[in-house]
Amino acid sequence: MKKTSLVLGIVVTVFIVSPVIGQQLYFGGTGGINRADMSILGDGVEQTVNPRNLWSAGGVLGIQFNNHIALQLRPLYINKGGTLNQDSPSPDIDFQMSFFELDLSLKAAFGKQFRPYIVAGPSIGFLMTAEAQAEVLGNTLKADTKTISKSIECSLGIGGGIELPCWKGFLFLEGRYQFGLNNLNKGGLVEFKLNGTVVATQTVGADDEYKNRGIQIMAGYAFSLDKN
């Protein structure tokens, strides 16, 4: 209930404040690839992790203050994770976490037609699912890791893109680097299952550290909500 109230509160505030200050709203959709990566510290040692290409999709809601500056809210369903490389005979482990994420960014655009821009701002993500997967002797073992993961992630993002006028709004292509600020691991027992049967367990220490990071490549379209 608290999470839902926070989301609704931010959206309602944006809609209420914009008409009061006499600025223009725009709204649209976006989607693309998250080149997901993560940092893992186990027993104080940084582990080797390879990135994974995962998808994300959502919306864009912005307040255009003038021709160059806008404040933008972006609700996303986004997948994050990476592949932990382990020495043989231990298998590599694929991690994937899905979040409902809200980021609030300041956007500065330049030019009139072909408009490059930069964006930067914080985000908060609410964990929806988390799992680990490993291949052992041709079998796929899966584990639910949500029980050892914290439910809220705080991040910062910075990037840039280009936008082009189109019909009643604009097309855009954007790249953004995002990195997590808080440790998502809270420790506990992980059970790897094969066809619903527990075949292996692993204890994750509460002192281990897990943080997401990644490069998002997103495209989309936004149209003006100005009634004039």
**Residue 20 has what pLDDT?**
47
Domains of the chain with bracketed CATH: 2-224 (2.40.160.20)
For the chain, give the number of residues: 228
- pTM equals 0.90
**Of the candidates 212, 107, 224, the residue with the CA atom closest to the CA atom of residue 158:** 107
Q: Where are the alpha helices (DSSP H) in the chain?
A: 2-21
**Residue 7 has what pLDDT?**
53
Q: Which two tokens stand for residue 72?
A: 């933008």
Q: Is the dihedral of CA 206, 207, 208, 209 positive or negative?
A: positive
For 187-204, write each residue's pLDDT tens digit: 999 999 999 999 999 999
**Residue 113 has what pLDDT?**
86
Low-confidence ranges of the chain (pLDDT < 70): 1-22, 227-228
Question: With contact defined as beta carbons under 8 Å apart, do 209 and 46 qualify?
Answer: no
